[in-house]
Structure 1
Amino acid sequence: MHAFTSVVHSLFLCNYAFSSPLLDSVRTQRNGAATYTTYLKTGQHPYMGLLPPWSSKLKIENEDSFKRSLQNGVNLFLGAGFSVKARGMLDGKLKSMPVGDMLRKELLHHFGRDPESKLPLAQLCQIISKTQRAALNDFFRSRFAVVEFDSEYMNLERVKINSIFTTNIDDLAFKIFAAGTQYYINDISLRGPSIVGASAIDYIALHGSITHSPTEVLDFSPVEMASAFERDKDKWFGYLGRIQKTPTLYWGYSMSDAGVLQALARETTNGRDRAPAWVTLREEDEEAIEYYSSLGFQIIVADTAELLKYIGQLRIEKSAGAPKRLITKRFQEYFPPDLNKVPVRSLTEFYLGAEPSWYDVYLGDLHKTKHFGIAENSINGGKNCLLIGAAVTGKSTLLKLLANSVPPPTQALVIDDITPEKATLLVKDIDKEGVKVIAFIDNAADAWEAISILATSPNIQIVAAERDYIFDSVSHRFPRRGFQIFSVSGLNPLDAQAVTDKIPAGVQRQTRPLKHDPLRGELDPTFFEVLDSCIAGHLLADRFMEALHELKNQAPEKHDLLLLVCYLYSCRVPTSVDVASAFLGDRVSDVTEVYQLLTSMNTLLGVYEGSLADSEQAFFVPRSRSVSEAVMRRVNPSDLRSLLTKFHADVSPTKIPRYDIFRRSAYDANLMQRAFANWEEGLQFYERCFSRDSSASFKQQGAIYLSRKKQFELAFSWIDEAKGIAGPRSASVRNTYAVILFNANYDKVETAPDVMATLDESMTILQKCYSDDLRKVYHAKVFSDQAVKYAEKFPHLPTAIEYLDQAVTWLNTELTARQGDRSINNLLRDLKTARRAITQRS
């Protein structure tokens, strides 16, 4: 049987299967007619301003996203539990709409059948319809005619409803909106879909409705429903398309309807990510929550009365229409491009390691992970947020997906690079016209000054991303009261499987489970780890390395240019033709020829289209920053040494775009350690470059390099000079001093016990750095790493336990603001392991 046929069958079975009792929240004492009269005369909901306090059980997953969906447009998919606050007639008495087993018992009584019958509702209706079809229809039309309903239903006027799907046959929705002033019901079975307009709500009664012609048979037979589907498949798939495109609230269903919702979840996904969906639960049932979450539903714990009251208290923003935007004149480069202007490329490139393109975002059907929902919820709540994670964890992809989900009239700006000066100008334009803007900013550490300026505008909301270890050094620039911080490194099992399923068949290897790494513990895999385990063939970084190997002998100028572009991009700047020409000046003097060399490597390099691209210069970048960094880690050390020596001798800093960003990584000790195995050559390199960069951070990197080469005396000399340049308040330099002090003496304790005090001195310096400086995570991580080393060498000392416990306390404190942070969790694991080892020895 076709999967959707099973949905159709289930839609009958779920009708009035919701087994909630009548709700015990505050009820109106007015009858239905009085309620209508009050609303029509005053134009106000009877309960507005008089609503009771909330029940403590009401919970909404990703609440701000839910609020935003209610305002921007939502489908309602209604079951019997939705109608429990409405009443109709039964045997001359006013009764609530039947739910659960109530309808079955009413049918048994009305048709004089055995009250102890165990026949399910579906089978009972089937039997009665074969002999008393007209009487059954008359019963339904009488029983489900709403006579009165509680006034809280009028709160639905405050919600933008695109469509109503329902398995109910009552006329409650018609009565609600007939009493209102904002919307009208457009029964799609009678009128067809509405022409675009904000006032119409398309109504889709899957089981028919008592409002339809009396001659229409309300036949709930699963066979009849399946036949209807086979007769008009296009109609049913059109219905599913609405659920795929628009957020949907499933309201009034219970776990007994789980089969229906599972089938709908499967059909509406159909190989693509569907729009967000929420399902209501009357009680906080852990198993139900786990089940519906596995289907991709977000959870609302609330009964119908609570949810209606909740909607009544929502603050609704009034849209003033799309304003004229001055920012298009000077900041067009920040606008997401139109689809017809986006270069087409194979989606395979993305899964092989290329940075996400707008083509991937618009048409690539990329999976939206749980991190997307959490970040979107923060955005919809009007908060600034920061997305942090390791390399190749999908941060840039997440930013673009989020930017693409921003509804008008709010304007999304996607910013790769912005200076403080440019930010000041941008704020002036935005505030002058009053447009609401969400700025999506990658590489937050590079743009912290600009972000501080943007954050002063009441019209700008900020969503930024940064690597976790880089963010540690600038975290104090982003006050916690102003930013929500989310770690997006790990993929839960559902997301990992979904990402795997999206990998194109041509590059997806046969089943290969993720490698189990016992050192990772319970940490979720990253996006890169998932791809690495599932991709057949070479990732993009491998292709770069192969290209470098071939070009070295065949076209040495291209080899050097490719390596140059990777170096600059690993330092977060693109390569201009001017820089490339200066680098090759002694071999290729013609600028045009240099440009041609760069463009000829178009399978490896691309034209940079960021905010620097509005100049007359042409800029080039590799396919991704992670590829550039991989090349820097894997290239032959002698080639790396030649590149660095030549570049820093021949290329003026005045030609390097955003040199302020470049210099932060250009002299990194990790990179120099690979390039200069001989410490004397490395020292000479740093000394030559000091004339270019005389900053404390440059001296700091030189000190770290010398320390790693075991040249501790020279390292102390360099770090002392850094302290002199930075001044006494530089906690970062003092941190490095403490690390060098610790490493210099760590291996000397066995032969010179008197140096033991220097290790404690180092730990004390780090403790003071933590207490004095705002970069808490940065100092806590270094202290934790040294605490583990200290405990391994001196497990018998009481201070070992003290340092471990102090480190655990600090990291747990930081983890409250950065839940799921992989690096913190890794360190906590190491600390606990060291603590356990000491305990076992004693």
Structure 2
Amino acid sequence: MKIDNEDTFKSHLQKGINLFLGAGFSVEAKGTFEDKPTAMPVGDGLRKEILKTFSRDENSRMLLPQLCQIISKTQRDELNDFLRKRFSVVEFSNLYGNLERINLKAIFTTNIDDLIFKIFGESQKYYVNDISLRGPSIVGSSAIDYIALHGSVIHPPSEGFDFSPIEIASSFERDKDKWFGYIGRVQQTPTLYWGYSIADAGVLQALAKETVSGRERAPAWVTLRAEDDEDIEYYSALGFQIIIAETNDLLRYIGQIKVEKAAVSPRRLIDKRFSEYLIPAVDKVPVRTLAEFYLGAEPTWYDIFLGGLHKTKHFSVAQNSIAGGNNCLLIGAAVTGKSTLLRLLANSISDLGQPLFIEELTSEKAKLLRKAIDAEGVKVVAIVDNAADAWEAIAILGASDNVQIVAAERDYIFDSVAHRFPRGKFEIFDVSGLSRLDVQAILDKIPSGVQRQFSKKFRDPLRADVDPTFFEVLDSSIAGHLLADRFIEALKELKLEAPEKHDLLLLSCYLYSCRVPTSVDVASSFLSNVVGDPGEVYKLLVSMSSLLSPYEGSFAETEQAFFVPRSRSVAEAVMKRVGSIDLRRLLIQFHSEVSPTKIPRYDIFRRMAYDANLTSRAFPKWEDGLDFYEKCFDRDDSHSFKQQGAIYLSRKKQYSLAFKWVDDAMAIAGRQVASVKNTYAVIMFNANYDKPASLREVLTTLDESMQILQKCYTEDLRKVYHAKVFADQSVKYANKFPDSPRALEYLDQASTWLNAELRSRQGDRAINQLLRDLKSKRRNLTHQNGSSR
């Protein structure tokens, strides 16, 4: 075994290195071939196995990409099934576990197997973050970003695999920003290319080129199995340093690398690897005026520690639930104090367990965190904001006897995932409404400098029985402009004085309204045609400190800087109020310039990024909106994306196209089809609602829509989601056909379902409002029908 510049190589293994893996890396693992465990194919092995499996001429001279191309034309599903079975690892050498000893930054691979996921499946140090599913990791040294260049067996079957140079080139053309991002990673961080032969040199040659403003490439090593002079000369010419070693030899070598020994003390594992979730010390938090909080900024730990914020009745109810050992969920409308309440609870329950305040957590990281908690045997209260984004992670943590869950989510978002939080395991509280005592206490706490001399009325006379929300109290009592107004004014000024800052501020609001922060990487790609240097983009972001803040979602070390507007509610208000021309330009520029692989937590971002509420404003002309959705489908081929396109087209009254898109969504959704059927029913209802009631088919189609929703409710776990849509349509149906015998049936059925949901969702304002609407409509309908008789 020989290693060029071995001491330097060893240093990078300890300080941080990428792996770039080819077929030779997986030789000590086995998949399944002809129904028995068989070593992973290398060289020409896979081509020969495919020829045999698909009964083709075993003397064929066709190359692997050509062979796959031909077979996929007639037997695509069979080929994909073969590849998935062949490259799903069933056995692997224990030597691969030595990889935990080195400091891994990212793993690139041209393999499609799941070996890396199997290696780190039981790790207590690392979790694998597949950026094609999650986007790049935001913070923390525990994440290994995983980049499968040809696809992976763990990806959805619809994605397939890219084997041929044509497919790779096509991928590059569709998303150049992604590939430049990959190249940037290997230029900045030392990389070990492992498992390649001279036949694979094309991929390495493409990545070896210096493509970013003449920047010197970080050191790179390539492994060769034998000391071949021509191979060494070729790779040296590409700038690689050489390692001569078999895979198992190199794994044994890594097993001898010295690693830092963790001190054994209570909570050490959590403190060290998950410090981003710890409650900070009071002397470590930034100081600010309390007026910022009351003007609409998100709460900070300084507000919690020293702000003397009022603890509402909901605080006592939640604290009591936690003290009783229960998992609890706090739901409510926007700006109702959920995040503030979570922080107040986190600061008051240390005697019940170690509080961890979690704003971002993937299921992969949750597995690692749970291992650390269980290893230490410490009782933890995991306090999780944005519960819908983290339901998988919450389920993983909640399965531990050492973890108690306290979470929060907006009520309308929670509806779609309520079935993920079993009623027997969670107490659910609506924290939207404030009692009269709470209202007065909050008014007394508002600093005099921002308090109105005479408050506006915040009670709606038509909803006198509904308690006011925190936002309504503030809106009626704050003098001067709230933060949302200041942002709109700032956008107008920046558009004239500093267009790049205007675009960055609008970008940050868009991303934060989709629940992700703005990274310098994303901002640089977004402004790539205007500002070429990432350093200048960073300076622009920092210069807007009165509007943007460093992301405080966690406190772990990160090499990437992130920024967010002062609050999510402000970001959402900006997206609702910004002009349609600016909004359209933002969406087109963003989705053409920024790769999904650069967006942190892309799985969260995608849920709201293409929302029909947004695109309906951005694209008043349906032809423009359709063009936008069609272009974006190359990057997001999910059923939820097709759903939003269908909703957009429906709102533009392009019902034929809307039905086509929702049909496509149902075909993609598979087992998740119930939510798409709900959309189908709504589109059907709206397409026919405005037609003359005298047309017989109108009543028939509205009944069909209602029956689809009934079936969705009975067959799907998302009960409240379907019940609310059904209730809303029941009222509209009764308005349209008050004489129909089914009008009362629908109203009564909706009331029954909503009352059933209300029993497990104490004080849910949205459900109560719908029940009031149903009751009012039923009373009017009964009176109207009685009078007519």
Tell me the TM-score range normalised by the shorter chain.
0.5 to 0.7
Q: Mark the CA change 1:728 to 1:398 in structure 2 (over 3 Å): closer, same or farther.
A: closer
In the TM superposition, 1:144-543 aligns within 5 A as 323-408=266-351, 410-543=353-486
How big is the shift at 1:750?
2.8
Counterpart selection for 1:714 from 632, 657, 674: 657
How big is the shift at 1:470?
0.3
**Conservation of the 8 A alpha-carbon contact between 2:459 and 2:468:** no
Counterpart selection for 2:748 from 800, 805, 830: 805
Q: In the alignment, residue 474 of structure 2 is paired with which amino acid?
A: L
In the TM superposition, 1:551-590 aligns within 5 A as 551-590=494-533
CA distance, structure 2, for counterparts of residue 809 and residue 737 of structure 1: 23
Cα-to-partner distance string for 1:721-774 (whole Å, 9 max, x where unaligned): 001111265210010011011111112243522232111011011111111111
Other-structure match for 2:613: 670
CA distance, structure 1, for counterparts of residue 556 and residue 586 of structure 2: 25
Q: In the alignment, residue 435 of structure 2 is paired with which amino acid?
A: N
The structure, 1 or 2, with the larger RCO (C-alpha pairs under 8 Å, 6+ apart) is 2
Q: In the alignment, residue 616 of structure 1 is paired with which amino acid?
A: E
CA distance, structure 1, for counterparts of residue 635 and residue 646 of structure 2: 17
CA distance, structure 2, for counterparts of residue 385 and residue 663 of structure 1: 27
CA distance, structure 2, for counterparts of residue 535 and residue 763 of structure 1: 44
CA distance, structure 1, for counterparts of residue 495 and residue 736 of structure 2: 47
CA distance, structure 1, for counterparts of residue 726 and residue 556 of structure 2: 42
Counterpart selection for 1:791 from 703, 719, 734: 734
Q: Mark the CA change 1:729 to 1:436 in structure 2 (over 3 Å): closer, same or farther.
A: closer
Other-structure match for 2:685: 742
| Residue 766, structure 1, aligned to residue 709, structure 2 | yes
CA distance, structure 2, for counterparts of residue 729 and residue 529 of structure 1: 37
CA distance, structure 2, for counterparts of residue 688 and residue 751 of structure 1: 41
How big is the shift at 1:613?
5.8
Q: In the alignment, residue 792 of structure 1 is paired with which amino acid?
A: N
Which runs of at least 4 in structure 1 moved beyond 6 Å after TM superposition? none
Other-structure match for 1:643: 586
Cα-to-partner distance string for 1:175-226 (whole Å, 9 max, x where unaligned): xxxxxxxxxxxxxxxxxxxxxxxxxxxxxxxxxxxxxxxxxxxxxxxxxxxx
CA distance, structure 1, for counterparts of residue 410 and residue 698 of structure 2: 37
Q: Mark the CA change 1:802 to 1:521 in structure 2 (over 3 Å): closer, same or farther.
A: farther
722-731 vs 704-713, which moves further? 722-731
Q: In the alignment, residue 642 of structure 2 is paired with which amino acid?
A: K
How big is the shift at 1:825?
1.1
**Conservation of the 8 A alpha-carbon contact between 1:613 and 1:619:** no
How big is the shift at 1:839?
1.8
Q: In the alignment, residue 460 of structure 2 is paired with which amino acid?
A: D
| Residue 632, structure 1, aligned to residue 586, structure 2 | no
**Conservation of the 8 A alpha-carbon contact between 2:274 and 2:556:** no
**Conservation of the 8 A alpha-carbon contact between 2:275 and 2:556:** no
**Conservation of the 8 A alpha-carbon contact between 2:693 and 2:736:** no
CA distance, structure 2, for counterparts of residue 432 and residue 515 of structure 1: 51
CA distance, structure 1, for counterparts of residue 736 and residue 556 of structure 2: 54
RMSD: 1.2
CA distance, structure 1, for counterparts of residue 370 and residue 489 of structure 2: 46
**Conservation of the 8 A alpha-carbon contact between 1:390 and 1:467:** yes
Other-structure match for 2:676: 733
CA distance, structure 2, for counterparts of residue 515 and residue 478 of structure 1: 34
SS at match of 1:326: helix
| Residue 698, structure 1, aligned to residue 659, structure 2 | no
**Conservation of the 8 A alpha-carbon contact between 2:303 and 2:309:** yes
**Conservation of the 8 A alpha-carbon contact between 1:570 and 1:628:** yes
| Residue 683, structure 1, aligned to residue 626, structure 2 | yes
How big is the shift at 1:324?
4.3
SS at match of 1:446: helix
Q: Mark the CA change 1:651 to 1:729 in structure 2 (over 3 Å): closer, same or farther.
A: closer
Other-structure match for 1:597: 540
Q: In the alignment, residue 703 of structure 2 is paired with which amino acid?
A: D
Cα-to-partner distance string for 1:566-602 (whole Å, 9 max, x where unaligned): 0000000000001000001111111111000000000
Q: In the alignment, residue 553 of structure 1 is paired with which amino acid?
A: L
CA distance, structure 2, for counterparts of residue 409 and residue 822 of structure 1: 30
Q: In the alignment, residue 781 of structure 1 is paired with which amino acid?
A: K
Counterpart selection for 1:660 from 603, 607, 615: 603
CA distance, structure 2, for counterparts of residue 409 and residue 738 of structure 1: 47
Cα-to-partner distance string for 1:82-124 (whole Å, 9 max, x where unaligned): xxxxxxxxxxxxxxxxxxxxxxxxxxxxxxxxxxxxxxxxxxx
**Conservation of the 8 A alpha-carbon contact between 1:325 and 1:435:** no
Other-structure match for 1:258: none
In our comparison, the structure showing a higher alpha carbon Rg is 1
How big is the shift at 1:612?
8.2
CA distance, structure 1, for counterparts of residue 588 and residue 559 of structure 2: 29
SS at match of 1:557: helix
Q: Mark the CA change 1:376 to 1:794 in structure 2 (over 3 Å): closer, same or farther.
A: same
Cα-to-partner distance string for 1:387-430 (whole Å, 9 max, x where unaligned): 00000000000000000001347210000000111111111111
CA distance, structure 2, for counterparts of residue 733 and residue 598 of structure 1: 39
Q: In the alignment, residue 384 of structure 1 is paired with which amino acid?
A: N
Counterpart selection for 2:491 from 531, 548, 551: 548
Q: In the alignment, residue 334 of structure 1 is paired with which amino acid?
A: Y
How big is the shift at 1:514?
2.7
Cα-to-partner distance string for 1:131-167 (whole Å, 9 max, x where unaligned): xxxxxxxxxxxxxxxxxxxxxxxxxxxxxxxxxxxxx
SS at match of 1:445: helix
Q: Mark the CA change 1:762 to 1:583 in structure 2 (over 3 Å): closer, same or farther.
A: same
Counterpart selection for 1:777 from 720, 737, 751: 720
Which segments of 5 or more consecutive residues in structure 1 lack a partner in the other structure? 1-321
CA distance, structure 1, for counterparts of residue 720 and residue 692 of structure 2: 29
CA distance, structure 2, for counterparts of residue 538 and residue 729 of structure 1: 44
CA distance, structure 2, for counterparts of residue 498 and residue 409 of structure 1: 27
CA distance, structure 2, for counterparts of residue 613 and residue 590 of structure 1: 26
Q: In the alignment, residue 585 of structure 1 is paired with which amino acid?
A: S
